[in-house]
Chains A and B, each alone.
Chain A
Amino acid sequence: MTSDTRVILICSGKGGVGKTTLTANLGISLARKGSQTAVLDADFGLRNLDLLLGLENRIVYTAQEVLEETCRLDQALVKHKQEPNLSLLPAGNPRMLDWLKPEDMKKIVEMLSKQFDYVLIDCPAGVEDGFRNAVAASKEAIIVTNPEVSAVRDADRVIGLLNTNGIKPVQLVLNRVRPKMMESQEMLSIEDVTDILALPLLGLVLEDEQVIVSTNRGEPLTLIGSQSPAARCYSNIAGRLQGEDIPLIDPSKEGDGLRDKFRRLMQTKIF
């Protein structure tokens, strides 16, 4: 394994907090910045990364065939057409879960590390076997959570498990931030979450309807160069991951500009 490949686990414990969306957007962002990036769908039970990247129709082989040695790694990798620096290694059949071992995940990641600068692992929800397999192959981790009690609680549990497995550094991404609710103190604040979880904040992602629009199309926001709030957040996170010094977005200052007002006006339902 080349030692300078960054193998980053993207996990959350709770499902539906935005792991896969973050993986897809970070993958695209890092690739656009010139890094050879692989995204690995470790969620064999409920795979979705292919769908978010719009690559679901181009899958021929998966991680399963690579492990069974019925195909080569480069045959299974799906290169993104618009962003050729990004490749997806699709998850195999859910039945793989019956025999998949931590060593298998390690083997796949070692193979990927030979040709990529970044390997992003989209971790399954939960803390069972699928999670343990993914952790075994990872060096560092990004915890995705929402400012909600259940998501923060599950994140805390996962952080504990990552610590005991020697994963370092573990950084936090706070997803689906609603500035207005935070302002009226009807949502846990950024400080609340970072204090409770005691992790460095890699970034926050503002709640943004455009995320849904982009997943409908299978085109991550960072791919189409969108300037929507979440797109800027994702791209900032990718920059920070590469060591750029980018200040955090201040949620209380979001939505004051003329442009944001105009955007809201455009999104208002007329009939």
Chain B
Amino acid sequence: MTLRDILNKLLGRQPASAAKARERLQLVLAHDRTDLSPDLLNQMREEILGVVAKYVEIDFEGGAVSLETEDRMTALVANLPIKRTLSGEIQVKEQNSPKIEESISEQLS
């Protein structure tokens, strides 16, 4: 926060608009560059969540799949919070092989 921002806050003015412009541009360009519509992105997000949910319990509400762009390279970034049990273990779905279950609980311990 710059002195100017503080002054703006004190005076109840909106923060400088360049940061907002930058933020909006980065978002819109990430979509433009991939030609992916928000609908399609949402569909992809749900399918990715579905695949991951087959293996571990995930928090559907907290999950986010977004496109991030840097230097004309666009990356799909998925942030999928995995639910934990009260004891802190990752909730692994029952149908998975015991091997995976073991390795995950090993990593945790």
| List of A residues within 8 angstroms of B4 by Cβ | 184-185
In the bound complex, do residue A192 and residue B29 qualify as a contact, i.e. CB atoms below 8 Å apart? no
| List of B residues within 8 angstroms of A156 by Cβ | 29, 32-33
Task: Tell whether A51 is near chain B: CB-to-CB under 8 Å.
Answer: no
Within 8 A of B (CB), among A142-169: 148-149, 152-153, 156-157, 159-160
* Residue of B whose beta carbon sits closest to that of A182: B18
Whether A192 contacts B33 in the complex (CB less than 8 A), given A185-B4, A186-B17, A198-B72, comes out as no
* Residue of B whose beta carbon sits closest to that of A160: B33
In the bound complex, do residue B25 and residue A196 qualify as a contact, i.e. CB atoms below 8 Å apart? yes
| List of A residues within 8 angstroms of B28 by Cβ | 149, 153
Within 8 A of A (CB), among B31-71: 32-33, 71
Task: Tell whether B91 is near chain A: CB-to-CB under 8 Å.
Answer: no
| List of B residues within 8 angstroms of A157 by Cβ | 32
Task: Tell whether A59 is near chain B: CB-to-CB under 8 Å.
Answer: no
In the bound complex, do residue A188 and residue B32 qualify as a contact, i.e. CB atoms below 8 Å apart? no
In the bound complex, do residue A196 and residue B22 qualify as a contact, i.e. CB atoms below 8 Å apart? yes
In the bound complex, do residue B26 and residue A196 qualify as a contact, i.e. CB atoms below 8 Å apart? yes
Task: Tell whether A189 is near chain B: CB-to-CB under 8 Å.
Answer: yes
Q: Give which listed residue, B2, B18, B25, contacts A187 with CB less than 8 A.
A: B18
| List of A residues within 8 angstroms of B22 by Cβ | 188, 192, 196
- Please, how many angstroms separate the alpha-carbon atoms of A186 and B22 in the complex? 11
- Please, how many angstroms separate the alpha-carbon atoms of A189 and B29 in the complex? 17
Considering residues A149, A152, A189, A198, which has the most beta carbons from chain B within 10 angstroms of its beta carbon?
A149
* Residue of B whose beta carbon sits closest to that of A197: B72
- Please, how many angstroms separate the alpha-carbon atoms of A184 and B71 in the complex? 26
Interface majority SS (helix, strand, loop, mixed), chain B: helix
| List of A residues within 8 angstroms of B71 by Cβ | 198
- Please, how many angstroms separate the alpha-carbon atoms of A17 and B46 in the complex? 41
Chain B 5-27 near chain A by CB (<8 Å), digits 1 or 0: 00000000000111101101110
In the bound complex, do residue A152 and residue B25 qualify as a contact, i.e. CB atoms below 8 Å apart? yes
In the bound complex, do residue B18 and residue A186 qualify as a contact, i.e. CB atoms below 8 Å apart? yes
Q: Give which listed residue, A153, A159, A160, A189, contacts B25 with CB less than 8 A.
A: A153
* Residue of A whose beta carbon sits closest to that of B26: A196
In the bound complex, do residue B29 and residue A185 qualify as a contact, i.e. CB atoms below 8 Å apart? no
**CB of A251 to closest CB in B, whole Å:** 13
**CB of B36 to closest CB in A, whole Å:** 14
| List of A residues within 8 angstroms of B21 by Cβ | 148-149, 188, 192
- The 5 A-B pairs with the shortest beta carbon distances in the complex, nearest first, are A185-B16, A185-B18, A198-B72, A198-B71, A149-B21
11 A-B residue pairs with CB within 8 Å: A153-B25, A153-B28, A156-B32, A157-B32, A185-B18, A186-B18, A188-B22, A188-B25, A192-B21, A192-B22, A198-B71
Report B's interface with A, CB cutoff 8 A: 2, 4, 16-19, 21-22, 24-26, 28-29, 32-33, 71-72
